[in-house]
């Protein structure tokens, strides 16, 4: 393994200069994914550029009616922020459910978004909340930011400074965990704005975070669990792996979406009786 230099800039300008002058450098924003990938030789780099001394990247504050969260805010910091707990509780709960305490105290929201792991929780929450991702060059809305498997709209030399979340009426995030990693086997974020507009974002499907437009349209028209009765998430948009089949994951999307709506409306989330779909989905049906 080649020796990698370690840099610790102290300003936004210094970080940008490092990225321009050192094209093979990688930003270190917590390192919970990058260090592991580097040790496994899944990526090549010449320099680690550590962001932890750059000021203003750990701020959590209100900007008018919007919430600002700095890119270097850790999952634990977001989970425990009195402001977020009181006024944006879905974000607090999502952060509290990420991995274990050690990772929550080191991993950051900016690092998670830039990595865009297809089973990560933050992309679903950010996409459902219609957040703006603010970089050193521009503002990118979440709808344009996430572009597939480990892919984002970030250009060469561009990096995340923070996120801006608008207020919404209600939101929740539910996930079915892969037990060993605590990544989402499937995770569903449901958000309802003051005008009744609903957004549903899904993670864990293997191809990157996505929106469930059919559920959004139906729930915007009628905010009831029963509105979802005739909807099924298309399994051809989902990948199978050793943990679960595409069909099982697609079924979980519908289950979690119903539970999310029921958490707000007080209805039963139960589905109509149907064959039980198992994680292996070997073709047999269990009732």
Residue 283 has pLDDT above 70, yes or no: no
How many CB atoms within 10 Å of residue 265?
Answer: 12
User: The domain containing residue 228 runs over which residues?
Assistant: 170-265
- Classify residue 196: in a domain, yes or no: yes
What confidence tens digit (pLDDT) does each residue in 7-27 have?
999 999 999 999 999 989 999
d(CA 285, CA 61): 51
What confidence tens digit (pLDDT) does each residue in 199-231 have?
999 999 999 999 999 999 999 999 999 999 999
- Classify residue 132: in a domain, yes or no: no
How many structural domains comprise the chain? Answer: 2
CATH number of the domain at 230, please.
Answer: 3.30.390.50
The pTM of this model reads: 0.92
- Classify residue 69: in a domain, yes or no: no
What confidence tens digit (pLDDT) does each residue in 105-157 have?
999 999 999 999 999 999 999 999 999 999 999 999 999 999 999 999 999 99
Residue 171 has pLDDT above 50, yes or no: yes
CATH number of the domain at 15, please.
Answer: 3.30.43.10
- Classify residue 285: in a domain, yes or no: no
Distance between the two ends of the chain, CA-based, in angstroms? 53
Query: How are beta strands 47-50 and 25-28 bridged, if at all?
Result: parallel
Contact predicate 163/145, CB 8 Å: no
What confidence tens digit (pLDDT) does each residue in 25-69 have?
999 999 888 888 888 888 889 999 999 999 989 999 999 999 999
- Classify residue 23: in a domain, yes or no: yes
- Classify residue 112: in a domain, yes or no: no
d(CA 44, CA 236): 33
- Classify residue 152: in a domain, yes or no: no
Alpha-carbon distance values, 4 to 15, 31, 39, 190, 259 (Å): 17, 14, 11, 42, 47
d(CA 41, CA 261): 43
- Classify residue 118: in a domain, yes or no: no
């Amino acid at each position: 393994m080649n020796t990698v230099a370690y840099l610790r800039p102290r300003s936004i300008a210094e970080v940008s200069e490092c990225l321009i002058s050192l094209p093979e450098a990688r930003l270190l924003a917590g390192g919970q994914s990058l260090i592991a990938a580097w040790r496994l030789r899944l990526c090549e780099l010449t320099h680690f550029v550590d962001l932890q001394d750059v000021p203003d990247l750990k701020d959590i504050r209100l900007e008018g009616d919007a919430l600002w969260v700095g890119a270097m805010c850790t999952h634990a910091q977001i989970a425990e922020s009195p402001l977020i707990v009181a006024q944006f509780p879905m974000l607090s709960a999502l952060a509290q459910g990420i991995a274990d305490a050690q990772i929550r105290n080191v991993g950051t929201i900016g690092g998670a978004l830039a990595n865009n792991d297809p089973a990560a929780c933050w992309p679903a929450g950010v996409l459902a909340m219609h957040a703006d991702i603010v970089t050193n060059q521009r503002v990118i809305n979440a709808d344009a930011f996430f572009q597939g498997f480990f892919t984002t709209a970030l250009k060469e030399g561009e990096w995340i400074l923070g996120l801006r979340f608008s207020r919404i009426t209600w939101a929740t995030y539910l996930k079915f965990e892969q037990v060993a990693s605590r990544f989402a086997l499937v995770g569903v974020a449901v958000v309802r704005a003051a005008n009744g507009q609903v957004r549903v974002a899904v993670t864990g499907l293997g191809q990157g975070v996505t929106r469930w437009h059919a559920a959004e349209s139906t729930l915007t028209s009628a905010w009831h669990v029963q509105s979802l009765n005739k909807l099924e998430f298309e399994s051809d948009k989902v990948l199978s792996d050793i943990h679960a089949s595409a069909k099982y994951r697609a079924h979980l999307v519908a289950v979690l979406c119903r539970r999310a709506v029921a958490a707000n409306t007080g209805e039963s989330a139960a589905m109509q009786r149907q064959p039980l779909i198992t994680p292996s989905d070997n073709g047999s049906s269990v009732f």
